[in-house]
Amino acid sequence: MKLHRNLAFAIVSALQSIFEEKQVASRALDGLFAQNLKWGKRDRVFVAETTYEIVRWRRLLQWGAQSDDFWALLAAQLVRSGHELPDWDEFPGFDAAVIRQRLESPDLPRAVRQSIPDWLDELGESQLGARWDAELRALNEEAPVVVRANTLKISRDELNARLEFKDILTDAIEGLPDALQLRERRSISHNSLYQEGYFEFQDAASQLVAPFLQVESGMKVLDACAGAGGKSLHLAALMGNRGHIISCDPEGEKLIELRRRASRNGVSCLETLSPEKLKSRAQNFERILIDAPCSGSGTLRRQPDLKWRLSPDFLAQIEGRQREILSFYAPMLQSGALVYATCSIFPSENEWQIKWFLSQNPNFELEEQKVISPAATGFDGFFMARMRRVK
């Protein structure tokens, strides 16, 4: 397609919001689209895809353009994607052939070629060894759109049929009884089926977590780090909306969003509480899910801006916070199982934390743990460990 100046300026504006104002990429684009309601679907798709590709490949594009100016990054991405460089004042002196040669150089260091900070490349190699190359390549691929059928309202097969009736084609995912993957990446958040609570957006790896907790109808369950509640809603569906789920999070705004989603999903077995209020009630649970705050390194496919916000200091802080959370919630398990999960691929947030926890808590034993590899599955990177309280 022909590049229009207004779209180019919009992309540069989005990059300024993301890199200078530290906005999350999805929110920066949402704000941009809200200001340009007359754009057609093709324009929105071009702006979104180009912005995400520049964010994902920022370091490589800097190398190609020999500049970190946002217009230079756009120029390098246009060359990378096979577009002609317009003869504009914003693209002075850029030689497409030279940029292409730099981008395709076989001698680039891995951190430049795969477009990540040096410290993150060193961390990945030190913790994952030979696995790191494949995981890094997988994390630079574009994530598919995956939804979970809300089985309180609809079966997966029926949802598939109703989406197909609306010209939205999907495929089932083996091993995930409620999951559908869109054949074509597109926005369907305004679809009436979503607005009426028939499905939720949830990556395939994330859909493995709630079943791993092995809940049953009538149980008393704690989702300790619920956030906006994707896994709480999945638990409610697995329990047939029977029992009692307490969804806990320190951020009140997330719990407000969870209550809104629960209402849309037809979930009535769920209660939201802050950690302080939960502790004052001295709860005892049969199942506890700790979907712990983490680096999010397993989600870089869908959040490429995250790799530019991470830092070694943040990683050290979050690992300390993970241990605090485990220590705070584990005593609330009366009997049964506790699942610790992260969307990280780093053992320092995963297996090493479980080893530490078990060394501090001999009344727990490890029952099973899973590592979800982006390279092996095409899913987000996830880790989950199920521990059982020993009598």
- Give the pLDDT confidence of 305-337 residue by residue, as tens digits: 999 999 999 999 999 999 999 999 999 999 999
Q: Residue 107: helix, strand or coil by DSSP?
A: coil
Given a cut of 80, is residue 249 above it in pLDDT? Answer: yes
* pLDDT the model gives residue 92: 87
Mean local confidence (pLDDT), 56-67: 97
Set out the domains of the chain in order of their start, with CATH numbers.
5-108 (no CATH), 146-201 (3.30.70.1170), 206-389 (3.40.50.150)
- 29-37: long-range contacts, CB 8 A cutoff, minimum separation 24: 36/10
Contact status, residue 75 vs residue 94, Cβ threshold 8 Å: yes
Mean local confidence (pLDDT), 132-151: 96
Nearest to 267 by CA among 289, 291, 245, 290: 245
Radius of gyration from C-alpha coordinates of the chain? 23
What angle is formed at CA 32 by the lines to CA 67 and CA 58, rounded to 5 degrees?
25
Q: How confident is the model at residue 282 (pLDDT cuts 50, 70, 90)?
A: low
pTM: 0.94
* pLDDT the model gives residue 391: 73
Q: Residue 229: helix, strand or coil by DSSP?
A: coil
Q: How confident is the model at residue 1 (pLDDT cuts 50, 70, 90)?
A: low
Given a cut of 90, is residue 354 above it in pLDDT? Answer: yes
Average pLDDT, the chain: 95
Q: How confident is the model at residue 41 (pLDDT cuts 50, 70, 90)?
A: confident
* pLDDT the model gives residue 283: 73
Mean local confidence (pLDDT), 285-290: 97
DSSP 340: E
pLDDT digits (tens, 9 = 90+) for 167-186: 999 999 999 999 999 999 88
